[in-house]
């Protein structure tokens, strides 16, 4: 493979990535990535994790980045392989997750011939990447890889897509260009004292204030600082609707998320004279509905304390200090009552209570889908301390891969994927990698055999559910998915629960067993 002596371009790339602190590569490679695959043999610092479908790899890199706070690498095959991973890169972009996508391309001299697998990778990558670049020679490998990694780690975090023609992977790199040149990770920008002072003055005026917390404001220190501000300024605290990560439970403030539907979100913000953005973006309706404004906060109310890439925790602490807010002391929160759980037929509400009660300390909960997601958030302020991940960009098929990536990032923590059945199907192959890597992920499938959100939206659009087309396109019951079969197919032990008692027993068994497990919750 290396025909000129010394290191190949592929080795230089993998070494540069490793020198930059990347430890995992979620990969679904093809022919044009084979030198990189061989280089992963030569550089054991980067652990390869195989996905059977690219959306598993990109979603796992997103979940990994959210928990590890640093990028994983993905390895994807040409334009179509990248496209298969694009939906979860869209979510990662909205989560501000740092990810380094490495995409092989045809040999540079072969590209002009428009071979069958040739396509415009840049056009496919640009909408879901914060940085896109193409390696121009083997000697360019180290520099461009470092640039991509820096772009990925520039706060608040970006998807950087590095396109690497296969000839430059194979060629020998001149010795002077073969060294890795890691750069320090860029730091969040500090928020100016003037911004803090102006806000402190405005809040002292006793105006009705809502804080919308996002990004790092949803860490424990961020929430503690926000809690101090709320206590002295009488402000209301909300989490952004779909946080990338949110620390919850264990005595943290029981933050509600800003509601999903615009009518309720507008109502929640209606009385505010000031809506302070602390790591969150200005709230916008998820979809546009006729007669309802796109912007949810009252006109003129929005003040930015910190953008997602700023040092929002420090800014909140500075603001709390400027307001003279005392530091609060917190006793140990009461553990939830696991002894008196609902026994009857499962409902989304009882699922939320049971999962809340049995959640181990330090768990990670990857939530996708509304059916059980909202009831879980309602209940889980009372759970032990845990980290919640949500679907930030609305591209479905994010929950299982993100759970997988989180488990790779934190093998000592229990991961729960609380997952709707319809959305699980987009990246169902994630189950296989969970089994292969023996990750501690318990997948709870909310099995209601329909696209529930679409039936709601049809009603909102004024359509009845009576028509055959709209019934056919929103129902999943003909045939019903057999979740035991699917889990078995991918090597994940599974059982089915129809009552609260069955769910609690199944969940306890799964927690005790360790390793991957799937529980179908029949709703």
**In this chain, which of 288, 338, 344, 360 binds a second copy, going by CB under 8 A?**
288
Q: How far is the CB of 288 from a second copy (least distance, A)?
A: 3
Q: Binding string to a second copy for residues 438 to 467, with x set by CB under 8 A, is what?
A: ---------------xx--xx-xxxx--xx
Among 110, 143, 208, 449, binds a second copy (CB under 8 A): 110
**Residues in 68-97 at the binding interface with a second copy, rule: CB under 8 A:** 79-81, 83-84, 86-87, 90-91, 94
Min CB(490)–a second copy separation in Å = 7
C-alpha closest to that of 358 among 332, 327, 394, 384:
384
What is the CB neighbour count within 10 angstroms for residue 428?
20
CA dist., res. 497 & res. 347, Å (int): 11
Packing angle of the helix pair 193-204, 312-322 (nearest 10 deg): 50
Determine which residue in the list 142, 392, 414, 419 makes contact with a second copy, applying CB under 8 A. Answer: 392
Which residues, numbered 293-322, are part of the site for a second copy (CB under 8 A)? 294-295
CA distance 75 to 60: 12
> Pattern 406-445, binding to a second copy, x per CB under 8 A?
----------------x--xx-xx--x--xx---------
Contact segment (CB under 8 A) with a second copy among 108-116, 175-183, 352-360, 400-408 equals: 108-116
Place of tokens 């020998």: 172
Q: Estimate to the nearest angstrom the gap between the alpha carbon of 405 and the chain centroid.
A: 9
Return the H-helix or E-strand segment holding 302.
Answer: strand 302-306
* Residue entry with tokens 């860029």: 186
Kindly state the smallest distance separating residue 486's Cβ from a second copy, in Å: 4
In the complex, minimum distance from the CB of residue 44 to a second copy, in angstroms, rounded to a whole number: 8
Name which of 54 and 317 has its Cβ closer to a second copy: 54
Give the up-direction half-sphere exposure of residue 278: CA atoms within 13 A in the CB hemisphere.
36
Q: Report in angstroms the alpha-carbon separations of 255 from 222, 242, 403.
A: 12, 13, 22
5 is a contact residue toward a second copy (CB under 8 A):
no
What is the rounded distance in angstroms from the CA atom of residue 504 to the CA atom of residue 105?
49
Say whether residue 114 binds a second copy (CB under 8 A). Answer: yes
Distance of alpha carbon 397 from alpha carbon 185, whole angstroms: 30
Q: Can the peptide bond before residue 479 be classed as cis, meaning omega within 30 degrees of 0?
A: yes
What is the pattern of x (binds a second copy, CB under 8 A) and - over residues 224-263? ------------------x---------------------
Least gap, CB of 301 to a second copy (angstroms): 16
User: Least Å distance between CB 447 and a second copy?
Assistant: 12
Which whole-number Å values give the CA distances from 402 to 153, 323, 443, in the listed order?
19, 39, 12
Nearest to 10 by CA among 184, 178, 181: 178
- Structure-token pair, residue 91: 């979510």
Residues from 116 through 155 that contact a second copy (CB under 8 A): 116-117, 119-121, 123-124, 126-128
- Judged by CB, which is closer to a second copy: 90, or 257? 90
User: Residue 2 to residues 38, 77, 136, 181: CA-CA distances in angstroms?
Assistant: 11, 21, 18, 22
- Which residue stretch of 282-290, 322-330, 349-357, 495-503 sits at the interface with a second copy (rule: CB under 8 A)? 282-290
Stretch that binds a second copy, among 114-122, 147-155, 271-279, 356-364 (CB under 8 A): 114-122
CA gap 76, 299 in Å, rounded? 44
Of 23, 185, 231, 286, which one interacts with a second copy (CB under 8 A)? 286
Residue 177 per-residue DSSP state: G
For residue 510, the Cα-to-chain-centroid distance in whole angstroms is: 24
Q: For a second copy, which residue of 53, 64, 131, 211 counts as binding (CB under 8 A)?
A: 53
Q: Is 221 in the site for a second copy (CB under 8 A)?
A: no
Task: Confirm or reject binding of residue 377 to a second copy (CB under 8 A).
Answer: no
Q: Which of 339, 472 has the CB closer to a second copy?
A: 472
Q: Can residue 170 be called a binding residue for a second copy (CB under 8 A)? A: yes
Side-chain-side CA neighbours of residue 6 (13 Å): 15
Q: Is 480 exposed, middle or buried (0-12, 13-18, 19+ CB in 10 A)?
A: exposed
Give the range of 264-272, 284-292, 303-311, 365-373 binding a second copy by CB under 8 A: 284-292
* CB nearer to a second copy: pick between 254 and 489: 489
DSSP lists the bridge partners of residue 189 as 310
x/- string (CB under 8 A) for a second copy, residues 467-496? xxxx-xxx-x-xxxxxxxxxxxxxx-----
Beta bridge partners of 365: 388, 416
Q: Which of 6, 30, 69, 253 binds a second copy (CB under 8 A)?
A: 30
Shortest Å distance, C-beta 29 to a second copy = 6
């Amino acid at each position: 493979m290396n025909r000129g002596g010394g290191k190949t371009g592929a080795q230089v790339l993998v070494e540069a990535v490793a020198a930059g602190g990347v430890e995992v590569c979620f990969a679904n490679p093809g022919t044009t990535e084979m030198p990189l695959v061989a280089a992963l043999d030569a550089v054991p610092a980067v652990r390869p994790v195989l996905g059977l479908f690219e959306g598993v790899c990109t979603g796992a890199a997103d979940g990994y980045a959210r928990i590890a706070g640093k990028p994983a690498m993905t390895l994807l095959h040409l334009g179509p392989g990248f496209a298969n991973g694009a939906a979860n890169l869209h979510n990662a972009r909205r989560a501000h997750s740092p990810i380094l996508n490495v995409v092989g391309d045809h040999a540079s001299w072969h590209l002009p011939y428009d071979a069958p697998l040739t396509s415009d990778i840049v056009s496919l990558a640009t909408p879901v990447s914060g940085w896109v670049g193409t390696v121009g020679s083997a000697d360019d490998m180290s520099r461009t890889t470092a640039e991509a990694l820096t772009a990925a780690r520039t706060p608040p975090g970006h998807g950087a897509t590095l396109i690497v023609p296969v000839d430059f992977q194979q060629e020998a790199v001149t010795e002077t260009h073969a060294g890795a040149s890691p750069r320090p990770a860029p730091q969040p920008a500090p928020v100016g004292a003037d911004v803090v002072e102006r806000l402190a003055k405005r809040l002292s005026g006793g105006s009705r204030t809502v804080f919308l917390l996002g990004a790092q404001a949803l860490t424990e220190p961020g929430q503690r600082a926000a809690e101090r501000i709320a206590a002295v300024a009488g402000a209301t605290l909300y989490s952004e609707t779909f946080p990338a990560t949110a620390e919850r439970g264990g005595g943290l403030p029981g933050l509600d998320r800003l509601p999903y539907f615009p009518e309720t979100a507008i109502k929640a913000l209606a009385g505010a004279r000031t809506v302070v953005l602390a790591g969150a973006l200005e709230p916008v309706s998820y979809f546009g509905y006729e007669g309802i404004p796109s912007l949810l906060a009252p006109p003129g109310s929005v003040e930015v304390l910190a953008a997602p890439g700023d040092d929002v925790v420090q800014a909140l602490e500075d603001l709390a200090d400027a307001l003279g807010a005392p530091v609060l002391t917190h006793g140990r929160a009461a553990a939830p009552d696991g002894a008196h759980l609902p026994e009857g037929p499962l409902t989304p509400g009882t699922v939320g209570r049971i999962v809340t009660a049995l959640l181990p300390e330090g768990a990670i909960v990857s939530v996708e889908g509304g059916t059980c997601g909202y009831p879980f958030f309602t209940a889980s302020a009372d759970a032990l301390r845990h980290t919640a991940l949500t679907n930030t960009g609305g591209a479905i098929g994010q929950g299982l891969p993100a759970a997988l990536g989180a488990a790779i990032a934190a093998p000592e923590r229990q991961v729960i994927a609380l997952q709707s059945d319809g959305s699980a199907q987009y990246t169902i192959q994630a189950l296989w990698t969970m089994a292969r890597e023996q990750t501690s992920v318990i997948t709870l499938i909310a099995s209601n055999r329909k696209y529930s959100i679409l039936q709601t939206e049809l009603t909102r659009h004024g359509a009845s559910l009576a028509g055959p087309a709209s019934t056919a396109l929103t129902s999943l019951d003909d045939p019903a998915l057999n979740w035991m079969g699917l889990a078995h197919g991918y090597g994940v032990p599974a059982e089915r629960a129809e009552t609260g008692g069955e769910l609690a027993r199944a969940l306890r068994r799964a927690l005790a067993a360790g390793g991957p497990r799937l529980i179908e919750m029949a709703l």
